[in-house]
Structure formats: C-alpha cells, structure tokens
C-alpha cells in the first residue's frame, strides 16, 4: 500500500468507505451479514483506514465497523478510523454529545479523524463546532480534525478556527469530474499539506465501457475501476475511500494502489472529456 504523509502522519492511499454498510439513511438489519462479510474481507485484505459517519445507517454503520474490528481481533493501534458529525449537530454541546455517541457505537476510546460531514447551515455554527472539536482534541478523544464537502472559502475558515492542522477535505472527486480542480480546492490542498479524500471515486456511469480507460486497463491487466483508482492514487495529497460489498471488488480496489500509470497514461486520463 502507498501512503500520504502529512504533519508526521502516514495515511493509506486507499481506505474503505462504509456508506451502505448496515443500511443507507436508516439501519437495515437484513444488510448486516453482507456488511460484516465486506468489513471482514477488507480487514483481511489489509485495509487499515475505515471511513464511516454518524448518519450512515443512523449510526449502525459505526456499530458494525467496531464489531468487525473486535471479531477479527484487529489491533486498534494499527487502524485509522474516520467518522463524521452531521451538520444538524454543530452546536457546542451537540458536537461533544455526537462524539461520545460515535465512540460508544464504535466501542473505542478515540477517533483518529473526525470530520464535519457537510457545511453548516449558518456561518456562526462553524465557530461553535470548532470550539467543541478543539476541546475533543485536547481531551484525546479525537486525534485529528477535518471537513467534508467544503469549498475553498469555507475550508480556509475552518483552518483559521482549528487549533491543529486540518488533515483533510473529503469531497467527490473522480474521473472525469473536475469540480474540485476547477474551484481551486485540489491545488490549495496540495500546496497546504491538506489531504483531499476522494469519495465515490468510481461513480462514473460510462467507466466500464470507456474505450480509453479499457485500453489502459488491458495494458495493466486491470479493471477500468482499478485504473480510475490508480489515477487518483497517482496524485500528490490525494487519498480515496472506495466502497464495495463484493469481496472480489474489495480486494481489487485495495490492489489498485500498486498500479503504476505512465506519465502519458496519467495525462490521457486527466484530459478525459
């Protein structure tokens, strides 16, 4: 596995996203067997970064992540756990309560990376949220802070309010979507030691049949999805968190970190559409 190292911390280039683990917006117990199989497969394959949120399956995703880790006897100190606080919980006391609830569901003593999941509904809420988030870091319940779905102006504001470096901005970034290139977020992150965490990294309807991607995939004896992940991995300060319930795809996603694209291949993919 390749890593990005920022502020003395090494984070895997490819982690495991958990949207749809345990359900979607609400818990779905019928999904538990497949969800636990996916998580155990990911742990067995070597994933160490797991990304979840209090809103995923109404917190049930966090419960299953914690359960899979305990049942596989994975060492907590070898893992990097990310979870997120919802925008409706950004008042000071709500942030503290949400963190305690996430720790309880995960059955862990600390969170490696705690993100604000979506921009606040009111500008003043960001000040209140970071007052609590800074307190959580000082108390050792959270190791690192970050944001998600923040555009450049709000990202800079978050930096000014955080007592510790903002570790990441988690945003939708994939072939051929260049929204966060065009709005300046990617370049800013790369220039300021902030990880850009690409979520939904293969959510491109034509990816499996795109001729350019397929030709490059054939060259590397890989799938088009692996090439899309390899393109992200090749970029400085970019990490990604693909999700799958299919054990074969989970392993393929993990292996994509080892694909070395040529400069010409990377350029061709970057200019797609």
Annotated catalytic residues are 56
CA 139/CA 62 separation, integer angstroms = 21
> Is 114 in contact with 138 (CB distance < 8 Å)?
no
Q: Which two tokens stand for residue 99?
A: 């963190």
Number of neighbours of residue 255 by Cβ within 10 angstroms: 18
Contact 82, 49 (CB under 8 A): yes
CB 152 within 8 A of CB 119: no
- Residue 177's φ and ψ, nearest 5 degrees, are -75, 115
Rounded Cα distance between 37 and 68, Å, is 9
Whole-angstrom distance, CA of residue 145 vs CA of residue 152: 17
Beta bridge partners, 197, equal 170, 239
Tell me which residue of 238, 227, 225, 223 sits closest to 262, measured CA to CA: 227
What residue has token string 């070898």? 78
3-state SS class at 259: coil
Rg from Cα positions in the chain:
18
**Phi, psi at 245, each rounded to 5°:** -100, -5
Pairing of strands 9-12, 3-6: antiparallel
Task: Give me 53's structure tokens.
Answer: 């949120």
């Amino acid at each position: 596995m390749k890593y990005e190292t920022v502020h003395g911390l090494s984070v895997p280039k490819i982690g495991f996203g958990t949207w749809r683990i345990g359900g979607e917006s609400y818990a779905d117990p019928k999904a538990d067997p497949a969800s636990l199989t996916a998580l155990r497969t990911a742990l067995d394959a070597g994933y160490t970064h797991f990304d979840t949120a209090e809103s995923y399956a109404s917190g049930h995703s966090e419960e299953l992540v914690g359960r899979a880790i305990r049942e596989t006897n994975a060492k907590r100190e070898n893992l990097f756990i990310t979870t997120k606080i919802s925008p409706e919980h950004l008042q000071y006391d709500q942030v503290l309560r949400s963190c305690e609830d996430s720790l309880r569901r995960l059955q862990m003593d600390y969170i490696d990376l705690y993100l604000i999941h979506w921009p606040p509904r009111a500008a003043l809420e960001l000040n209140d949220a970071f007052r609590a988030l800074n307190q959580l870091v000082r108390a050792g319940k959270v190791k690192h802070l970050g944001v998600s779905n923040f555009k450049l102006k709000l990202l800079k504001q978050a930096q000014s309010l955080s007592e510790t470096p903002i570790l990441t901005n988690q945003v939708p970034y994939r072939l051929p979507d260049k929204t966060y290139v065009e709005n300046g977020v990617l370049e800013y992150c790369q220039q300021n030691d902030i990880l850009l965490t690409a979520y939904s990294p293969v959510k491109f309807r034509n990816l499996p049949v795109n001729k350019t991607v397929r030709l490059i995939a054939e060259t590397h004896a890989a799938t088009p999805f692996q090439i899309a992940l390899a393109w992200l991995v090749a970029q400085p300060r970019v990490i990604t968190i693909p999700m799958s319930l299919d054990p074969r795809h989970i392993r393929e996603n993990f292996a994509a970190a080892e694909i070395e694209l040529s400069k010409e291949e990377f350029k061709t993919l970057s200019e797609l559409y």
